[in-house]
Amino acid sequence: MSATIKVKIFPDNPDGQIINVPDDSTYEDLLNIMDINQELVILLNDGKAVPIDDIVVEGTVTILKAISGG
């Protein structure tokens, strides 16, 4: 089985994409699948912050990337 989630990435892909992840995957696993550095993001599931080591649950995951510049 797998969990189906919608992933929105700000600022790169605010419209989102649908991703299936294996059952018992963590948010860290999700970031690894998407090749995103976990140290540069904040994760939200349905608008609530989630720890990186929590199990992914179905819903809308929002990944907020840190932006820097001068």
Q: Tell me what pLDDT residue 14 has.
A: 92
Classify strands 48-49 and 59-65 as parallel, antiparallel or unpaired: unpaired
Percent of the chain residues past pLDDT 90, beyond the cut: 74
Q: Tell me what pLDDT residue 64 has.
A: 95
Residue type, 7: V
Tell which residue, 49, 63, 53, 66, has the closest CA to residue 17.
63
pTM: 0.87
Q: Tell me what pLDDT residue 66 has.
A: 86
Whether residue 10 is predicted with pLDDT greater than 90 in this model: the reply is yes
